């Protein structure tokens, strides 16, 4: 008779389920035992392979424990900052308005890399004039409205002179300065609108007045005006030269928030650095203005916007800015 082998002694420790678990570590009959987790050293963070949960993620004890591990998170990549350009948009720069309050699409954001003023840049004067004409034709209503304000200012001045008939020097000077201040602010408004056009935005009427440096605008325009008229008193030519050198002064004030003296200096340096192109542009603008004046003055409603946009096109290109098609 064959002896029946005796049963192996029972090991209660092996048959008992692990503490706090649902028996996931207990080996079934005829299956190898599952690997038991090794206790972590105090102060040592748990690794993913040390305690795998049901979904493959580490689980930890205690209330509020993270369910998806506490592996170190990679830091975000560093932000690369470009060096500050010599000239760049400041203040109410392009694309800062929303369609609700200005009609300008703020989604057209451009990055400007203005180069140092003083470096010559190619400029096609014909393209500048064509660009101004095309932008005016694409958005005529607000441009006609803002230009018509100049005619209104002239009519108000004429009516005040006829009504009050000032016969002393001081009232005439004060009235003249008030009218000129309105004209200078109107010029800055047209520059603001032209800057939006070169940024690819069609300005609404209210957008033209979105500049916050009216004081610098008035001081810059007054200095340029005085310099021009003082130069005109000396055989005309010096006055024309001063006006020519200041052709971009308001652009530097409105677009880059420069002070009066800095804006006039920047304009003069930009003009002298690109003497041939800017001289042709100034002559073209003078011819366009003269033709508009000869057409009973009504031609200025078109000549004014086209000239301002063309000069702004040149300003953007000569300073390394972006010009929208």
- Report CA torsion sign: 129, 130, 136, 139: negative
Q: Is 111 left (phi over 0), alpha (psi -120 to 50) or beta?
A: beta
Confidence class for position 180, pLDDT limits 50, 70, 90: very high
Q: Please tell me whether residue 216 adopts helix, strand or coil conformation.
A: helix
Strand, coil or helix: 52: strand
In this predicted structure, the answer to whether residue 283 has a pLDDT above a threshold of 50 is: yes
- Cβ-based burial of 180 (10 A; exposed 0-12, middle 13-18, buried ≥19): middle
Q: pLDDT at residue 1 above 60?
A: no
Which tokens sit at 13?
């420790």
The whole-number pLDDT of residue 307 equals 97
Helix (H/G/I), strand (E/B), else coil: 58: strand
CA-wise closest residue to 218 among 159, 173, 275, 177: 177
Count the domains in the chain.
1
Q: Which residue has the higher pLDDT, 79 or 215?
A: 215
pLDDT tens, residue by residue, 221-248: 999 999 999 999 888 899 999 999 999 9
Residue 269 lies in a domain: yes
Q: Please tell me the least confidently modeled range out of 71-75, 173-177, 240-244.
A: 71-75
**Any domain includes 61:** no
pLDDT at res. 21: 45
pLDDT for 219: 97
The pLDDT value given to residue 167: 82
Are 289 and 308 in contact by the 8 Å Cβ rule? The answer is no
Is residue 17 a contact partner of residue 23, using CB atoms and an 8 Å limit? yes
In a domain, 297, yes or no: yes
Q: What is the rounded CA–CA span in Å between residue 96 and residue 143?
A: 20
DSSP string, 137-154: HHSHHHHHHHHHHHHHHH
pLDDT surpassing 90 at residue 122:
no
Contacts for 166-173 with beta carbons within 8 Å, 24 or more apart? none
pLDDT confidence of residue 31: 47
Q: Cβ(318)–Cβ(251) under 8 Å?
A: no
Judge whether residue 310 has pLDDT over 80: yes
Q: Is residue 77 part of a domain?
A: no
pLDDT at 164 (0 to 100): 82
Q: Which of 49-53, 109-113, 160-164 has the highest mean pLDDT?
A: 160-164
pLDDT tens profile 181-216: 999 999 999 999 999 999 999 999 999 999 888 999
pLDDT at 269 over 70: yes
The confidence score (pLDDT) of residue 295 equals 86
What is the average pLDDT score of the chain? 76
Max mean pLDDT range (46-50, 54-58, 95-99, 193-197): 193-197
Read off φ and ψ for residue 52, nearest 5 degrees: -90, 130
Asked if the structure places residue 90 within a domain, the reply is no
Instruction: Provide the percentage of residues in the chain whose pLDDT is more than 70.
Output: 63
On whether residue 41 sits in a domain, the answer given is no
Which of these, 143, 214, 222, 153, lies nearest to 183 by C-alpha position? 153
Is residue 313, in this structure, part of any structural domain at all?
A: yes
Residue 162 confidence (pLDDT) above 90: no
Q: Where is pLDDT greater, at 247 or 116?
A: 247
What pLDDT sits at residue 11? 53
For 298, phi and psi rounded to 5 degrees? -70, -25
Burial group, residue 199, by CB count within 10 angstroms (0-12, 13-18, 19+): buried
First to last CA, the chain: 106
Expressed as residue numbers, the domain containing 277 is 117-318
**How would residue 168 be classed by pLDDT, with cut points 50, 70 and 90?**
confident
Whether 71 is covered by a domain: the verdict is: no
Per-residue confidence band for 39, with pLDDT thresholds at 50, 70 and 90: low
Q: Is 108 exposed, middle or buried (0-12, 13-18, 19+ CB in 10 A)?
A: middle
Per-residue pLDDT at 4 exceeds 80: no
d(CA 131, CA 202): 14
């Amino acid at each position: 008779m064959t002896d029946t082998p005796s049963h192996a002694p029972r090991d209660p420790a092996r048959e008992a389920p692990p503490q706090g678990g649902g028996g996931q570590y207990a080996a079934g009959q005829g299956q190898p035992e599952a690997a038991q987790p090794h206790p972590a050293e105090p102060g040592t963070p748990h690794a993913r392979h040390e305690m795998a949960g049901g979904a493959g993620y580490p689980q930890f004890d205690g209330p509020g424990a993270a369910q998806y591990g506490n592996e170190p998170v990679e830091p975000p990549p560093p932000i690369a900052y470009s060096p500050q350009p010599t000239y760049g948009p400041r203040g109410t720069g392009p694309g800062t308005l929303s369609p609700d309050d200005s009609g300008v699409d703020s989604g057209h954001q451009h990055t400007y890399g203005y180069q140092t003023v003083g470096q010559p840049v190619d400029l096609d004067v014909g393209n500048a004039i064509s660009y101004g004409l095309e932008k005016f034709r694409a958005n005529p209503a607000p441009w006609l409205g803002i230009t018509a304000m100049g005619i209104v200012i002239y009519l108000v001045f004429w009516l005040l002179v006829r009504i009050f008939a000032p016969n002393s020097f001081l009232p005439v000077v004060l009235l003249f300065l008030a009218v000129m201040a309105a004209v200078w602010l109107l010029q800055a408004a047209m520059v603001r609108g032209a800057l939006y056009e070169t940024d690819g935005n069609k300005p609404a009427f209210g957008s033209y007045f979105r500049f916050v440096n009216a004081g610098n605008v008035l001081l810059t325009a007054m200095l340029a005006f005085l310099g021009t008229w003082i130069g005109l008193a000396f055989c005309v030519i010096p006055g024309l030269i001063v006006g020519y050198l200041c052709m971009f002064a308001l652009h530097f004030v409105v677009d880059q928030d420069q002070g009066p003296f800095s804006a006039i200096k920047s304009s003069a340096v930009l003009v002298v650095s690109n003497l041939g192109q800017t001289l042709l542009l100034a002559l073209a603008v003078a011819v366009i203005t003269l033709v508009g004046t000869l057409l009973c003055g009504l031609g200025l409603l078109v000549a004014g916007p086209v000239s301002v946009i063309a000069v702004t096109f040149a300003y953007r290109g000569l300073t390394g800015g972006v010009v929208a098609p």
